[in-house]
Structure 1
């Protein structure tokens, strides 16, 4: 059974399951989910806790011993297994499947790790444990869901942001939920009445948003030039290497070229399935395919090539203005005219 992190507390109030799979790319949600499960388990009498990391040094016999060394007077136990960034290999997968056969009412299994890949979701160990317990998805909320996410957290702290304050909190903390949690706690201490507006937020907080090249690319695919430019400026301030953005852009353009070429003889659904486009990303690619023509795509490729050459040879000239211009062209339904963009013909 899969639930999202914000629904976990309600689920724990209803029932404590024998196993929990806590995975996601948002450290704050992973930590909060883990703590909530452990706290609830301890209230249910799971007094002992054992922690293991699933790496080459793990002693699986010690894990099995936790399940078997029970007596009439033994405490109920929590077994926590941490999954490293490298994931779970075939040998560990086999051990996990075997471990499920040793679980019983006095054992609570908690497995914690970063965001799962599709291959991991389809692995036998994961499917087996997911059928028996709860999969807690701890993914960072996107910009559309972030305001509601913030509103829910504000409600728990008796904070009452107005619409503008909520939007500013979302813009200032996108991609950095840990900073968001700290900011809301600070605001709750500063303003006992809970009322939040633009003035109070600007006086009390500084920007904590953190973007990645993927945020920027999603804004480009969505055709949102203002958001793309805002993210690009933040990435420049954070000192990200321009070549990382250029390679990300080139990779997406290559994919878009393939998708558009295949549209003439294949349905768009079949094309998305073939290239394993996530369901959540399909509307973005659909709008991009309708917006961009091949001539525009070729122009963008030439601009990216020029930008990459510039980063490697023209050390005194900033390539960021060119990247910004290419971003605008990508978001535009028609080719943009930039007098200082050399690739225009």
Structure 2
């Protein structure tokens, strides 16, 4: 059974389904949907939780065994199955179909998947999850650029805040579609807003009052060639619990801009013109910093760094081997134009 994410909260107030499937590539929204399901299971007495990560070496028999075994500690259980590749393979297909044919009693199975493409949705296992009588399927769609201001307004309202149209637009311009970053901005605004009102000055103050190790400060250090300082800031961000996805978004956005500018410059386009035509345009005060970074690498090298960022994205999603924190350190150093000895991944 398909369920619209907006209907989830009401659905979870009633009897829970044996199986829930959350599918999508928007990390924040998928995480929040899963959190809501977890909270509902706790409220309804599902006090035991087991998590299974279906990596290439995963034993699918362990899922079936968990479903068939009796709990030693609780009457009701939550089983979580995470399939980062979105492709369970032959053994996984057999295991899922076997489980869905007779879901375990007093058990909720929560399955996390990336966005399923058209061909995958036609497979036997995906059809069973999407159309099965015992499964609730939630497709999480990304927030489009045109929808982002309204999404920000709703999140502000949930936080007890009201914002002017200009303030909302400023937040949207800063986060550029990254919902994790938007959520962090709203958390900061909760501390700064006076009487729950957010205007442009409040948003600008939030930017000025960013944490000591700010993501955008990391970018500036890397662009300026301050390799050691960039590493210190990255470690600070890690210590403050900033998500790797937020840091990668900021670095990848800058690398994508630099790759585009370097390509245009190699084709004879003057830098000032390229700066003006960039979307969003490069501000006057940032042009010296960006120009300095452009001198370090060729257009081809910037493209390679963009590919490195894509690999880190796969690591964060569990689709590639490697520690994303180490890879983020390397990417920061490359942007800064230096290579330092780092432990092997």
Q: Normalising by the residue count of structure 2, what TM-score does the alignment of the two structures yield?
A: 0.60
Q: How far did 1:191 drift? A: 2.0
Give 1:39-58 correspondences, 5 Å limit: 39-58=39-58
In the TM superposition, what is the alpha-carbon distance from 1:138 to its structure 2 partner?
A: 2.4
* 2:92 counterpart residue number: 92
Q: Within 5 Å, which residues of 2 pair with 1:73-88?
A: 74-85=74-85, 87-88=87-88
Match of 1:26 in 2: 26
3-state SS of 1:9 partner: helix
Aligned in 2, Cα 1:309/1:152: closer, same or farther, shift over 3 Å? closer
Match for residue 201 of structure 2?
Answer: 199
CA–CA distance in structure 1, aligned partners of residues 162 and 277 of structure 2: 37
Alignment-derived partner of residue 135 in structure 1: 137
Q: Please report how far the alpha carbon of residue 319 of structure 1 lies from its aligned counterpart in structure 2 after TM superposition.
A: 11
TM score, norm. by length of structure 1: 0.60
CA–CA distance in structure 2, aligned partners of residues 157 and 66 of structure 1: 39
Q: Does 1:321 align with 2:321?
A: no
User: Who is 1:155 aligned against?
Assistant: 157
Once residues 69 and 84 of structure 1 are traced to their aligned partners in structure 2, the CA distance between those partners, rounded to angstroms, is: 25
Structure 2, unmatched stretches of 5+, are 217-249, 281-345
- Are 1:62 and 2:65 counterparts? no
> Separation in 1 of the partners of 2:273 and 2:6?
38
Paired position in structure 1 for 2:117: 117
Partners of 1:85 and 1:319 in 2: CA distance:
43
- Separation in structure 1 between the aligned mates of residue 191 and residue 265 of structure 2, nearest angstrom: 51
Distance 2:78 2:252 in 1: 45
Cα distance in structure 1, aligned partners of 2:80 and 2:138: 15
Q: C-alpha distance in 2, partners of 1:319/1:57?
A: 52
2:312 maps to which residue? Answer: none
After superposing the two structures, state which structure 1 stretch, 56-65 or 17-26, moved more.
56-65
- Tell me the residue number matched to 1:238: 254
Give the Cα–Cα distance (whole angstroms) in 2 for the partners of residues 205 and 187 of structure 1.
10
Decide whether aligned partners of structure 1 residues 153 and 3 sit closer, same or farther in structure 2, where only a CA change above 3 A counts.
farther
Q: Compare 65-74 and 139-148 and name the one that shifted more.
A: 65-74
State the 1:4 CA deviation.
Answer: 4.2
- Rg larger for: 1
The Cα shift of 1:133 comes to 2.0
Q: Which residue of 2 aligns with 1:281?
A: none
8 Å contact kept, 1:78–1:108: yes
- Root-mean-square deviation (Å): 3.7
1:66–1:86 distance in 2 versus 1, CA, 3 Å: closer
Displacement after TM superposition at 1:109 (Å):
0.9
TM superposition shift of 1:61: 2.5
Q: 1:145 to 1:105 in 2, by over 3 A?
A: farther
User: Does the aligned pair in 1 maintain the 2:167–2:199 contact within 8 Å?
Assistant: yes
Q: Count the aligned residue pairs.
A: 241
